[in-house]
Amino acid sequence: MENEEIVAALKDIFFHQRVLVTGGCGFIGSAVVRALYRHTPADIAILDKLTYSADIEALEEAYGVPRVQLHTFDLLEQSAVEELIATFCPTLILHLAAETHVDRSIDDPLQFVTSNITGTAVLLEAVRKYWRSLTHADQAQFRFVQISTDEVYGSIGEHEHFEVSSPYQPNSPYAASKAAADHLVRAWWKTYGIPVIFTHSCNNYGPYQYPEKLIPLMLWKGMQGEDFPVYGNGLQSREWVYVEDHAAALLLIGNRGTVGSVYHITSGEEIRNIDLVNELANELEKALQEMSPNRVIAKRTSKVVHVEDRPGHDIRYAMSGKPLHDALGWQKEISWKEGLARTVRWYLAHPSFFAKKRSQGYKGNRLGCQITN
């Protein structure tokens, strides 16, 4: 089944009435909220601390409407988390809230331990109390989806793929904090019986991504005529999925996924960083030409420059997406080529997005390479 069909069918078959999205003002969380709002009849509650990477405008038409509640507090605020869950009575929780930038985790690992590990533990405890209070029928319908990353598996050699049974070997403080959170979720399933599902996604891209991440950072630089800073030799290889495809997968998994299962959300389209940056530079130039067809655009002056590599930089991630495809029929709808074209044009059409981040203090500076012992 194509994702368009999946999404069209969701309106009729989506059985969850109340969905709690943690991190719902972040890059992926907001895409999930938009998809839930547009394609399902569910009531939606967002729990988000509104860190630097959150953006309420990303909720688009789902912001400020009665069906969507926004609760702006930290996962660590135990009584607030408990009260929200007890009063909203979610039938599905999609847990996306986290600190997410690897470079920041190198500079400030404890922030990642606090938000991603302790934050998940607080949430799980609130869920445990709530779930115990439900009838057997409601307990059976409830789902907690832990949104994790391919980075928990560490780096993999050429021609290999991580399977859902692959061991965890996280290499960055970010990946380790996500791995620890996954283990907590598993323990709350095995010990207390909470019906949980795990997802691991490859790299996401698309609208509203904070400009510290590779694709918007390169666009930010390129749109200002600055050089494209590539970490190390740029031969690191990643799979990339368009954020709306990820959101569709999460809705499907929340609705039809099997308790205790692990699903890999991957496009199968693997690109080396250096190739990605070159493709992006070409697409940016093409899009700028299209925007001003009567003007001769000066040849692009931005060039790739190789900068100091990230400490502990994983060389390659690649996952097998077979379980999700075979069990639930999901496959990406938006190819890398189309997604890149859409993404470049979205950022060009929304210059206020970067301007806002700049006015909030982000300057595009290098993070995560000042290791002090």
Ligand X SMILES: NC(=O)c1ccc[n+]([C@@H]2O[C@H](COP(=O)([O-])OP(=O)(O)OC[C@H]3O[C@@H](n4cnc5c(N)ncnc54)[C@H](O)[C@@H]3O)[C@@H](O)[C@H]2O)c1
Establish if 266 lies at the interface with ligand X (CB under 6 A).
Answer: no
Establish if 97 lies at the interface with ligand X (CB under 6 A).
Answer: yes
- Whether 182 is catalytic is no
Q: Considering the complex, state which of residue 51 and residue 169 has its C-beta at the smaller distance from ligand X.
A: 51
Spatial CA neighbour of 27 closest among 280, 251, 221, 204: 204
* Of the candidate residues 172, 201, 266, 302, the single one contacting ligand X (CB under 6 A): 201
Establish if 74 lies at the interface with ligand X (CB under 6 A).
Answer: yes
Phi, psi of 301 (to 5 degrees): -100, -20
Instruction: Work out the number of other CB atoms within 10 angstroms of the CB of residue 43.
Output: 19
Largest CA distance in the chain: 68
For the CB of residue 22, give the shortest distance to ligand X in the complex, in Å: 6
Ramachandran region of residue 118, left (φ > 0), alpha (ψ -120 to 50) or beta? alpha
Q: Considering the complex, state which of residue 43 and residue 212 has its C-beta at the smaller distance from ligand X.
A: 212
For the CB of residue 46, give the shortest distance to ligand X in the complex, in Å: 9
* H helices, E strands: number in the chain: 14, 12
The answer to whether 218 and 277 are in contact (CB under 8 A) is: yes
Establish if 93 lies at the interface with ligand X (CB under 6 A).
Answer: no
Gap between the Cα atoms of 10 and 106, Å rounded = 40
Establish if 238 lies at the interface with ligand X (CB under 6 A).
Answer: no
Establish if 28 lies at the interface with ligand X (CB under 6 A).
Answer: yes
Establish if 53 lies at the interface with ligand X (CB under 6 A).
Answer: yes
Tokens found for residue 317: 């991630």
Q: Considering the complex, state which of residue 247 and residue 284 has its C-beta at the smaller distance from ligand X.
A: 247
The count of chain residues that interact with ligand X, using the rule CB under 6 A, is 29
Establish if 196 lies at the interface with ligand X (CB under 6 A).
Answer: no
Establish if 100 lies at the interface with ligand X (CB under 6 A).
Answer: yes
Tokens found for residue 47: 């729990």
For the CB of residue 373, give the shortest distance to ligand X in the complex, in Å: 27
Spatial CA neighbour of 215 closest among 343, 337, 54, 336: 343
Establish if 99 lies at the interface with ligand X (CB under 6 A).
Answer: yes
Give CA separation, 85 vs 12, 21, 80, in Å.
26, 11, 9
Establish if 34 lies at the interface with ligand X (CB under 6 A).
Answer: no
* Of the candidate residues 6, 23, 112, 344, the single one contacting ligand X (CB under 6 A): 23
Which residues on neighbouring strands pair with residue 147, listed in sequence order?
199
Establish if 239 lies at the interface with ligand X (CB under 6 A).
Answer: no
Establish if 234 lies at the interface with ligand X (CB under 6 A).
Answer: no
Site for ligand X in 125-154 (CB under 6 A): 147, 149
Q: Degrees (nearest 5) of the Cα angle 268, 274, 280?
A: 80
Gap between the Cα atoms of 215 and 227, Å rounded = 14
Q: Which residues contribute to the site for ligand X (CB under 6 A)? A: 23, 25-29, 48-51, 53-54, 74-76, 96-100, 115, 119, 147, 149, 178, 201, 203-204, 210
Active-site residue list = 150-151, 174
